[in-house]
């Protein structure tokens, strides 16, 4: 009853929400005026006049409501015409697919623009004022549309990719760096095929056509993961380590990955690693879903790979940087080189060996490795030419013994230089082995 009376009473007031049952806000002066009249008529106890007042008031409110509804409908029609005009102009400059996509959202992003609130036809001037904003809106919509279409097409293309990945990962070029399925799936070449426009046909042959350019796929992979690896080195260079290397020392001069002093440590197996061999280290492969992906394709792979524990990609979270000790740097200085700038290749080219405690002959990398370990005896000298030649023979013997791991090295046993022999090991899929990175230690003859 109360609700009914209240609604009846509200019929006498103009609501600010003409299209709603809810009375909304009322004008205070209007309410006060009606209440004053009401009280006056009640006081003089004139029921006829009171009934007349109420009836007239209700009719007035109904008239206003009708008029307001007509005005609102007219304004809506004007906005609709304006919207149709904007849509037509946008179609004229090539945004048709985006407008088709926005239709399902009733063009909400366009309707939100302040120029769309004007209840009049769109003038050329008004269009020029809003054109820049509309183009930005269409660019955002294009991105949204493409992502929407990609979410639809990726699952359809996945079975062919999954099948092709199993083949591509066996490619000899991929095996040099022990690429995981995730590494290949994330390559720009595969990404380009998977993210092709929805209307483009993609099938198994698109992926297997990459057999012929796996060399390039791997080369590009090395390039972009090397950039990530450089990121790990920056804190060391400015962190005041024993090496006392600063960013200024090497900036614009030597790639930090190429420096003779640069080495890494696997946080899983504690293996000493060097560049680029570190890229091939098996422990550094992690499931894709453990990495954050901010793009649709990456997120899709991540979800797919969650069900496949063996589908892995490189992850440098498992890699630490090893700073060379002050003693290790002295070994480089012993060769007349500057440890701040000398590269591993330049040290290799010297073709020197170090003799420790007059007992062991080591390559420069092996010697530096030993100088990071605590030792009570630190007697070092450069090997004589006779000792170098003898050590090299023994190093060949070590390679021969290691050859059961890498069958192809047997054919290269007489490769003359250490660099060339290391290269053979690299080609044979042992990129992260100490031998492939020139770490050799043999006994000094006569000991």
Asked whether position 271 contacts Zn ion by CB under 5 A, the answer is yes
Query: Between residues 127 and 316, which has the closer beta carbon with respect to Zn ion?
Result: 316
Query: Between residues 243 and 439, which has the closer beta carbon with respect to Zn ion?
Result: 439
The one segment of 77-85, 120-128, 268-276, 369-377 that binds Zn ion by CB under 5 A: 268-276
Tell me the β-bridge partners of 313: 286
Query: What are the tokens at 169?
Result: 């990962």
Inter-residue contact 333 to 244 (CB < 8 Å): no
Secondary structure of residue 338 in the 3-state scheme: coil
Radius of gyration of the chain (CA): 39
Site string for Zn ion, 273-302 (x = CB under 5 A): ----------x-------------------
DSSP 295: S
Inter-residue contact 319 to 264 (CB < 8 Å): yes
Q: Among residue numbers 161 through 220, which ones bind Zn ion (CB under 5 A)?
A: none
Asked whether position 268 contacts Zn ion by CB under 5 A, the answer is yes
Asked whether position 50 contacts Zn ion by CB under 5 A, the answer is no
Query: Between residues 72 and 267, which has the closer beta carbon with respect to Zn ion?
Result: 267
The one segment of 198-206, 232-240, 263-271, 403-411 that binds Zn ion by CB under 5 A: 263-271
Report how far residue 251's alpha carbon sits from residue 234's, in angstroms, rounded to the nearest whole number: 11
Tell me the β-bridge partners of 355: 361, 381
Q: Among residue numbers 52 through 91, which ones bind Zn ion (CB under 5 A)?
A: none
The least CB distance from residue 206 to Zn ion, in Å, is 35
Query: Between residues 270 and 307, which has the closer beta carbon with respect to Zn ion?
Result: 270
Q: Residues touching Zn ion: how many (CB under 5 A)?
A: 5
Inter-residue contact 380 to 444 (CB < 8 Å): no
Inter-residue contact 207 to 168 (CB < 8 Å): yes
The least CB distance from residue 366 to Zn ion, in Å, is 19
The one segment of 1-9, 57-65, 264-272, 388-396 that binds Zn ion by CB under 5 A: 264-272
The least CB distance from residue 281 to Zn ion, in Å, is 5
How many Cα atoms sit within 13 Å of 70 on the Cβ side?
A: 6
Measured on CA atoms in the order 422, 426, 430, 433, is the torsion positive or negative? positive
Query: Between residues 206 and 322, which has the closer beta carbon with respect to Zn ion?
Result: 322
Site string for Zn ion, 223-262 (x = CB under 5 A): ----------------------------------------
Pairing of strands 360-362, 441-443: antiparallel
CA angle 160/165/169 to nearest 5° reads 165
Secondary structure of residue 205 in the 3-state scheme: helix
Inter-residue contact 331 to 354 (CB < 8 Å): yes
Distance of CA 29 to the CA centre of its chain: 61
The least CB distance from residue 424 to Zn ion, in Å, is 23
Query: Between residues 439 and 444, which has the closer beta carbon with respect to Zn ion?
Result: 439
Query: Between residues 75 and 283, which has the closer beta carbon with respect to Zn ion?
Result: 283
Query: Between residues 138 and 266, which has the closer beta carbon with respect to Zn ion?
Result: 266
Binding site for Zn ion (CB under 5 A): 266, 268-269, 271, 283
């Amino acid at each position: 009853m109360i609700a009914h009376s209240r609604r009846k009473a509200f019929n006498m007031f103009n609501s600010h929400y003409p299209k709603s049952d809810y009375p909304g806000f009322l004008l205070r002066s209007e309410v006060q005026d009606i209440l004053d009249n009401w009280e006056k008529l009640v006081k003089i106890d004139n029921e006829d006049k009171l009934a007349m007042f109420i009836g007239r008031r209700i009719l007035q409110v109904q008239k206003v409501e009708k008029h307001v509804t007509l005005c609102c409908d007219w304004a809506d029609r004007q906005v609709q015409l304006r919207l149709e005009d904007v849509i037509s102009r946008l179609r004229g400059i090539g945004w048709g697919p985006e407008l088709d996509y926005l239709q399902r959202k009733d063009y909400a992003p366009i309707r939100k623009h302040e120029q769309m609130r004007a209840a009049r036809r769109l003038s050329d001037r008004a269009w020029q004022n809003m054109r820049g904003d509309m183009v930005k809106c269409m660019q955002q919509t294009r991105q949204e549309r493409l992502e929407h279409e990609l979410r639809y097409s990726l699952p359809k293309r996945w079975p062919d990719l999954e099948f092709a990945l199993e083949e591509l990962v066996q490619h000899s070029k991929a095996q040099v760096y022990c690429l995981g399925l995730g590494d290949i799936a994330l390559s720009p070449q595969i990404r380009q095929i998977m993210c092709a426009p929805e209307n483009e046909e993609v099938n198994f042959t698109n992926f297997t056509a990459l057999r012929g350019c796996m060399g390039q796929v791997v080369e590009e992979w090395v390039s972009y993961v090397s950039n990530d690896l450089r990121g790990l080195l920056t804190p060391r260079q400015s962190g005041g380590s024993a090496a006392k290397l600063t960013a200024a020392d090497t900036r614009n001069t030597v790639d930090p990955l190429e420096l003779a002093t640069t080495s890494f440590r696997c946080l899983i197996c504690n293996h000493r690693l060097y560049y680029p061999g570190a890229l091939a280290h098996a422990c550094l492969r992690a499931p894709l879903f453990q990495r954050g992906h901010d793009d649709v394709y990456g997120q899709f792979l991540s979800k797919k790979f969650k069900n496949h524990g063996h589908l892995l990609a490189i992850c440098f979270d498992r890699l630490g940087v090893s700073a060379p000790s002050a003693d290790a740097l002295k070994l480089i200085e012993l060769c007349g080189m500057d440890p701040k700038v000398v590269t591993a290749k330049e040290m290799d080219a010297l073709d020197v060996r170090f003799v420790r405690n007059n007992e062991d002959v080591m390559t420069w990398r092996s010697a530096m490795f030993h100088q990071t370990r605590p030792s009570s005896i630190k007697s070092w000298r450069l090997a004589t030419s006779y000792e170098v030649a003898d050590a090299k023979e023994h190093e060949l013997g070590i390679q021969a013994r290691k050859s059961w791991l890498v069958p192809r090295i047997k054919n290269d046993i007489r490769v003359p230089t250490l660099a060339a022999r290391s290269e053979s090991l690299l080609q044979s899929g042992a990129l992260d082995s100490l031998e492939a990175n020139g770490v050799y230690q043999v006994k000094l003859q006569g000991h």
